[in-house]
Amino acid sequence: MFAGVASLRYELAIPLPKNQHESANVLVLSLLLVLFMTGVSAVIVLMAGHQIADHLGVPTLASHFWLLPVGIFFSGCYKVFSYWAVRNKAFSVIAKTRISQTFVTLAVQMMGFNLGGITLVLGQVAGQVVGMVRLTKTALMHSDALQWSWLGVWEAARRYKQFPIFSTWSGLFRTAGSQLPPVMFAALFNASAAGLYSLAHRVLALPMSMVGGAIGQVFFSNAAEAYREDRLAPLVARVHEILAKIAMPPVLMLIIAGPELFALVFGEQWRQAGDMARWMAPWLYFAFITSPLDNLFSILEKQRQGVVINGISLALRVLSIGAGAWYDDLMTAVILFAASSALCRAGLLLWIAVVTKNSASVILMATLKPVVFSMLSLLPITLAFSSQTTTITWWLLAATLSAVLLAGYYWPLVRNVYAQ
């Protein structure tokens, strides 16, 4: 959580300036803040690490607290240099870096599994180190990154002061909104409830976050340029249309047969996680199509509205889980949580349409068309799920036919996106 705001969110401003010189000043400002935050965390760990560990009831972890400033430094620097890469449209470098990070993280965690849970942290830190080193090399290859001045850094801090004032809180609210639910489910219900929710959320969120994150970086770079050239509205409409087409088939599949799919893949004991995924699917759909567009808060410099929206979303999520706990019903908590989250994300989509001057009809049609095509593509497998006497042969035929229809659905989309 703290690594995410190590530069006080100034890194979000790196793609925004018109010229590279001003952007380089924001880059240096962000790195200086990461260094400062690292120093502050190191002092806290050295002076009060054991007391903090005792207060949290985990005294054995005190000896590992040195990883906190190390993690903040490398994670913070990685985020800063990744936004410099976004500005310079070095998306292939970012993709290769992520692959290297994943490989190193898994390798460290597998080699050190005998060390216990600390290996998970070591793996994450190692992955951040590899990512930061690679992106740093890429940045230093551009002489523009070295064209900065102390006066320019000071001016950048003043020019983009709304980022630490508002975007930092938005980031904290967003992080809390994603990390608090499993903790609350464990505290208000039991560990089993938290496990069911975590599995359902991970299955839905992980692939969407990977695809959405990549699209979001490309969108941020292009949208900053489009805003300066007064052509942001058609870009937002096009990106929303692409995201809706990508997300709709898997979302509808989970709504139709979430419990059956989870029972088939993970075992019958995880069927309830499939029930949760069914209710969470609409929320994850709206999250997927709006997360890449979240960068508009920075591009349009409307961070104040971002704080309000993310604050309301966090409050509604907490209240929804609390209401479910009041009724002592896990599924009620999940349904209320998913509904409130979907409502907030739908509201965000409406806000995006308004501020970018896109009509509601354009957004609505971009949503309804994928619904129709996705339902037609999934019709064979849906009929197979609804039938009580389906044979293996019919299952294979239905799955094959739906797969062929989905391939025909996605192929033009992939071809058009690649061509652009």
Query: CA 173 to CA 163: how far, in whole Å?
Result: 14
CA distances from 318 to 54, 118, 140, 176, 323 (A): 28, 29, 44, 10, 9
Write the single-letter amino acid at 291. Answer: S
Q: Is 146 found in the same domain as 94? A: yes
Same domain assignment for residues 209 and 357: yes
**Are 217 and 235 found together in one domain?**
yes
Distance, in Å, from the CA atom of 133 to the CA atom of 45, rounded to the nearest integer, reads 25
Is residue 221 within 8 A of residue 86, CB to CB? The reply is yes
Q: Is the dihedral of CA 43, 49, 50, 55 positive or negative?
A: positive
Indicate if 153 and 122 belong to the same structural domain: yes
Phi, psi of 231 (to 5 degrees): -135, 35
Three-state SS at 126: helix
CA terminus-to-terminus distance, the chain = 35
| 3-state SS assignment for residue 388 | coil
291/241 same-domain check: yes
| Alpha-carbon span 70 to 34, nearest angstrom | 11
Say what the pTM is.
0.83
Taking alpha carbons only, the member of 257, 301, 307 closest to residue 278 is 257
Is there a single domain that holds both residue 398 and residue 288? yes
How far apart CA 131 and CA 260 sit, in angstroms, is 39
User: Are 181 and 224 in the same domain?
Assistant: yes
Please give the tally of structural domains in the chain.
2
* Residues 210 and 246 placed together within one structural domain of the fold: yes
**Do residues 149 and 25 touch, judged by C-beta distance below 8 A?**
yes
Q: What is 85-136 written as a DSSP string?
A: HHHTT-HHHHHHHHHHHHHHHHHHHHHTGGG-THHHHHHHHHHHHHHHHHHH
The CA distances from residue 394 to 154, 391, 399, 403, 408, in Å, are: 68, 5, 8, 14, 21
Largest CA distance in the chain: 75
Domain match, 137 and 225 both: no
- Give me the phi and psi of 117, to 5 degrees please: -65, -25
From 102, 127, 160, give the residue that closes a domain: 160
Distance separating alpha carbons of residues 107 and 281, to the nearest angstrom: 32
- From the list 295, 247, 274, 420, the residue with the least C-alpha distance to 15 is 295
Domain boundary among 145, 160, 175: 160
- For residue 199 the two structure tokens come to 């599995």
The Cα–Cα gap between 107 and 111 comes to 6
Lookup: tokens for 306 = 């971002």
Residues 247 and 146 in one domain: no
Q: What are phi and psi of 65, to 5 degrees?
A: -65, -15
Q: What phi and psi, each to the nearest 5 degrees, are found at residue 100? A: -60, -40
Q: What pLDDT shows up at residue 139?
A: 79
Q: Which pLDDT does position 396 carry in this prediction?
A: 82
**In the prediction, which pLDDT does 34 show?**
93
- Note the Cα 211 to chain centre separation in Å: 10
Helix axes 360-386, 330-355, angle to 10 degrees: 150
Both tokens of residue 258? 């979430």
Query: Where does a domain end: 99, 133, 160?
Result: 160
- Among residues 18, 5, 148, 152, the alpha carbon closest in space to that of 79 is found at 5
Considering the domain architecture, whether residues 143 and 198 belong to the same structural domain is answered as: no
H helices then E strands: how many in the chain?
15, 0
Residue-number span of the structural domain to which 296 is assigned: 162-420
CA 9 – CA 420 distance, rounded (Å)? 30
- Clarify whether residues 75 and 107 are in a common domain: yes
Structural contact between residues 265 and 203, judged by C-beta atoms closer than 8 angstroms: no
Contact (Cβ atoms closer than 8 angstroms) between residue 287 and residue 337: no
The phi, psi pair for 409, rounded to 5°, reads -75, -45
Would you give per-residue pLDDT tens digits along the chain (420 residues)?
A: 566 678 888 999 998 888 888 988 999 999 999 999 999 888 888 887 777 767 766 666 666 677 788 888 888 888 898 898 888 888 888 878 887 877 877 777 677 666 655 666 677 778 778 888 888 887 777 766 677 889 999 999 999 998 888 888 888 888 888 888 988 998 898 888 888 888 888 888 877 777 777 788 888 888 888 888 889 999 999 999 999 999 999 999 999 888 888 888 888 888 899 999 999 999 989 999 998 888 889 888 888 999 999 999 999 999 999 999 999 999 999 999 999 999 999 999 999 999 999 988 888 888 888 988 888 888 888 887 777 666 777 778 888 898 888 888 888 877 776 555
